Amino acid sequence: MAEVSLHKLNKKFDTTHVVKDVDLQIRDKEFMVFVGPSGCGKTTTLRMIAGLEAITTGEIRIDDRVVNEVPPMDRDIAMVFQNYALYPHMSVASNMAFGLKMRKFEKAEIEKRINNAASILGIESLLERKPRQLSGGQRQRVALGRAIVRDPKVFLFDEPLSNLDAKLRVQMRVELKKLHERLAVTSVYVTHDQVEAMTLGDRVVVMKDGLVQQVGEPLELYNTPANRFVAGFIGSPAMNFADVTLVENGGKPVADAPGLRIGLPGELATRARAKTGRKATLGIRPEDIHIATPADAPEYCFEAVVEVVEQLGSEILLDMRVGEALMVASVEPTLRVRAHDTLKLALKPERLHLFDAETEAAI
Amino acid sequence: MTVSALPAAESKRLSPRLRKLEDERWLALALLAPTAILLGLFIAYPFFEGVMLSLSSARVGQPGEFVGLKNFHKIWDDSIFRTTVWNTFWYTGVTTVFKLALGLWLAILLNRHFKGKAIIRAFILLPFIIPTVLSTFAWKWMFDPTFSVINWTLFQLGLITTRINWLGDPDLAMTSIIIINIWRGVPFFAITLLAGLQTISPELHEAAAIDGARPWQRFWHVTWPLLMPVTLVVVLFSVIQTFADFQLVYVMTGGGPANATHLFATYAYQLGIGTGLLAEGAAISLAMFPFLFVIVVVQLLYIRRVETR
């Protein structure tokens, strides 16, 4: 049982302000992922939760206890580091036992916990080895094991998969997910990989320049991004953006740009009407664009010139020029299309996004 | 895609002699030869000559003849030689312990972030950089019976009422040269151990801190074992150098008072060159060899064990 709450958390290194007024409630048993580009403050935030970094201003609570001044060892947390941080001179078993020995656990209890963790992680046969005799994936398991045996209130993960190759990363991601379901311990996970964030997180915090951009469940971030940054960061391939002007056309609000004129549906129209005449950014995900059919309303259709065709097998990515904007569309793999073809495309009106050109906030 | 074979290394026309070097056995021989010649000329040959000298009755201006182990029998019964053996071990042991302890302490202090870190680190090296003879002369002045600045300071502070005869008393003279050797040797320990400390990932300390280890436990369970290979090498170097030390004692006390501070090297020099008993001097020099040999072999074996851990 553990909740972690951050209240007006700030961190300054000399003159650089790396974490700005972060407010966050991490619920009991929740898997919370911090994601953002490098330098966004996510790792610093995690290290402040761990107690490895002093807090400049603000407050961190674990359950109801303010831990600002509590040293790492007394916070009842366990951390998995990016480079594993296994003690190179100790065997796997000793690595896992170290935290328990320091806490004066009985020998029998230590052994029981190590065996239990080893069987969960499938590393029983490695217990006598030294870290340097292990592969990257095995080391990562040992690092996880060292955290598991402690049975802490909170798990902290600092980009634990970033040193693994792509295939292993996917495999470990699945295992981490299973592990969390099995152990049900509050977890805070830092990554720069939005796929990891989407697949692992119960909720995701998107950060940029020390500021929280949005907190929400993965699909919430995907479907209703709070601003242009989140929209562009979450989802792969990234959302398409086009600079447009909001105008009225025959009493209806329209997003207008050279070579592109898209009608705005329902509620979006209502919100856009208040900003008529202003600049905005139109956003549409590649998977929400398709080849136009007679069923598509003309105000949601546009023409595009294909520049590059990327055949991925399960889909085709079309890099296209639409007026002045560059866009990517994900279309059926069976489509016969070549570079320089001009296509008539349509988008799903309910999947349109609009962002204020100045504040970048969603309209 | 077809994998095109790398263009076969066109066998350039090499002279038959150079072609031989394509055979690894000849190549190895050719590469080893310069080192082997240098080592043979400047180490093995003098060593062999030294052995022969120690088995002769040579004196200055007198080639002498083969006398077997007579010189060794003689030094075995020599009470000054026995003092010398004891002195050398005491000098090496005490200084090594202090150099290691102080050097490690200094290295840990220097491993933190503070302003002017680079300058301080450079300054620390000064005792090591100054030629030993020069710095020892400065120390000699500080320990001088009449002009000792140390005595003056202690006197002004009211801690002593009479002069301390630093270099005139056998025990104090030994303590004095031990102090100077420690002063001179600490920088080498500090800088080398600092380099070793910097290879230890800070993440390990953070992991240990989260694991519940207090600072002292982090040092004992993480830093110390990971630093061990470096420590052993530094200690090995230092032991060899200290065991065979000459300059410091020669300048400071010349082995006195009353032969109380002689080490192997200074006693060998005094007997061999000073009094012209070349053969006996050689025997004393050689007497150092078995002791050093055992020390070095033991340490090297230990280093190997630690490194394959």
B305 CB near a chain A CB, below 8 Å? no
Cα separation, B30 vs B24, in Å, equals 10
CB contact under 8 A, B225 and A146: no
Closest-CA residue to A327 (of A305, A354, A311, A348) = A305
From the list A73, A82, A89, which residue is nearest B309 (CB)? A89
Chain-chain contact of A73 with B206 (C-beta, under 8 angstroms): no
Would you say B227 and B283 are in contact if contact means Cβ atoms under 8 Å apart?
Answer: no
Asked whether the predicted pLDDT for residue A38 surpasses 80, the reply is yes
- Checking if the pLDDT of A1 tops 80, the result is no
Condensed to tens digits (0 to 9), the pLDDT of residues A223-248 reads: 999 999 999 999 888 999 999 988 88
Residue A72 at interface with chain B, using a CB cutoff of 8 Å:
yes
Residues of B in contact with A88 (CB under 8 A): 226
> What would the mean pLDDT of A244-264 be, rounded to a whole number?
85
**Chain A touched by B212 (CB under 8 Å):** yes
What pLDDT was estimated at residue B279?
87
- Interface residue B12 vs chain A (CB under 8 A): no
Which residue of A77, A87, A103 is in closest CB contact with B204?
A: A87
DSSP code of A115?
A: H
Chain A contact present for B145, CB below 8 A: no
Query: How many whole angstroms separate alpha carbon A331 and alpha carbon A343?
Result: 12
Query: Confidence class of residue B159 from pLDDT cuts 50, 70 and 90?
Result: confident
Among A73, A82, A130, the residue with its CB nearest the CB of B210 is A73
Q: Do B226 and A88 touch (CB under 8 A)?
A: yes
Tell me the pLDDT of chain A averaged across its residues. Answer: 90
Mean pLDDT of chain B: 86
CB neighbour burial string for B148-168, b if at least 16 within 10 angstroms, e if fewer? beebeeeeeeeeeeeebebbe
Report the residue of chain B nearest A51, measured CA to CA: B210
In A, minimum Cα distance to B228 occurs at A89
Q: What pLDDT does residue A283 have?
A: 92
How many residue contacts between A and B have a Cβ separation below 8 Å?
A: 58
Cross-chain Cβ contact B207/A50 below 8 Å:
no
A79 near B CB under 8 A: yes
Give CA–CA dist A29/A24, Å, rounded. Answer: 15
Which among A51, A85, A150 has the least Cβ separation from residue B201?
A: A85
Q: pLDDT tens digits, residue range A48-106?
A: 999 999 999 999 999 988 999 999 999 999 999 998 999 999 999 999 999 999 999 99
Chain B within 8 Å of A50 (Cβ-Cβ)? yes
**Calculated CA dihedral for residues A203, A207, A212, A217, nearest 10 degrees:** -20
Of residues A77, A82, A88, nearest to B210 (C-beta) = A77
Contact check, Cβ <8 Å, B214/A98: no
Q: Which of B206, B212, B222 sits opposite A99 (nearest CB)?
A: B212
* Residues B208, A72: C-beta atoms closer than 8 Å: no
Contact criterion met (CB < 8 Å) for B210 and A78:
yes
Distance from CA of B120 to the nearest CA of A (A): 23
Q: Average pLDDT in the B77-91 region?
A: 90
Tell me the chain B residues in contact with residue A70 when contact means C-beta distances shorter than 8 Å: none
pLDDT score of B13 more than 70: no
Q: According to DSSP H, which parts of chain A are helical?
A: 42-50, 92-102, 107-121, 136-149, 166-183, 194-200, 218-223, 228-233, 266-273
**From CA A106, how far away is CA A326, in angstroms rounded?**
64
Global ipTM: 0.83
Percent of chain A with pLDDT over 90: 54
Judged by a CB distance cut-off of 8 A, whether residue B206 touches chain A is yes
- Supply the DSSP symbol for A227: B
Task: Give the model's confidence band at B5: pLDDT under 50 very low, under 70 low, under 90 confident, else very high.
Answer: very low
Domain B78-308 sits in CATH 1.10.3720.10 = yes
- Range A270-281 average pLDDT: 84
Query: Residue A153 above 80 pLDDT?
Result: yes
> What is the DSSP secondary-structure string of A24-44?
EEEPTT-EEEEE-STTSSHHH
Contacts 24+ apart (CB under 8 A), A162-168: A162/A82, A162/A191, A162/A192, A162/A193, A163/A82, A163/A83, A163/A84, A163/A136, A164/A136, A164/A137, A164/A140, A165/A136, A168/A136, A168/A137
Contacts of residue A14 in chain B, CB cutoff 8 Å? Answer: none
A89 within 8 A of A136, measured Cβ to Cβ: no
pLDDT given for residue B93 in this prediction: 94
Residue B227 has pLDDT above 90, yes or no: yes
Q: For residue B193, give how far its alpha carbon lies from the nearest alpha carbon of chain A (Å).
A: 18
Any B CB within 8 A of A87 CB:
yes
Which residues of chain B neighbour A89 with C-beta distances below 8 Å? 225-226, 309
B210/A88 touch (CB, cutoff 8 Å), yes or no:
no
SS3 readout for chain B: CCCCCCCCCCCCCCCHHHHHHHCHHHHHHHHHHHHHHHHHHHHHHHHHHHHHHHCECCECCECCCECCCHHHHHHHCCHHHHHHHHHHHHHHHHHHHHHHHHHHHHHHHHCCCCCCHHHHHHHHCHHHHCCHHHHHHHHHHHCCCCCCHHHHHHHHCCCCCCCCCCCCCHHHHHHHHHHHHHHHHHHHHHHHHHHHHHCCCHHHHHHHHHCCCCHHHHHHHHHHHHHHHHHHHHHHHHHHHHHCCCHHHHHHCCCCCCCCCCCHHHHHHHHHHHCCCHHHHHHHHHHHHHHHHHHHHHHHHHHHHHHCC
The confidence score (pLDDT) of residue B308 equals 65
Does B62 or A316 have the greater pLDDT score?
A316
Predicted local distance difference test score (pLDDT) of residue B1: 44
CB contact under 8 A, A103 and B212: yes
Tokens of B49: 């000559």
- Give the dihedral of Cα atoms B84, B89, B91, B93; nearest 10 deg: 180
Identify the CA nearest to A150 among candidates A193, A183, A197, A175.
A183
pLDDT at position B81 over 70 = yes
Beta carbons of A85 and B309 less than 8 Å apart: no
CA B84 – CA B263 distance, rounded (Å): 5
Q: What is the pLDDT of residues A187-229, one digit of tens each?
A: 999 999 999 999 999 999 999 999 999 999 999 999 999 999 9
Partner A contacted by B203 (CB < 8 A):
yes
Helix axis angle, B278-307 to B45-54, nearest 10°: 130
Do the beta carbons of residue B181 and residue B245 sit within 8 Å?
yes
What average pLDDT does range B87-109 have in this prediction?
A: 94
Q: Which of A51, A83, A98 sits opposite B211 (nearest CB)?
A: A98
Predicted local distance difference test score (pLDDT) of residue A229: 94
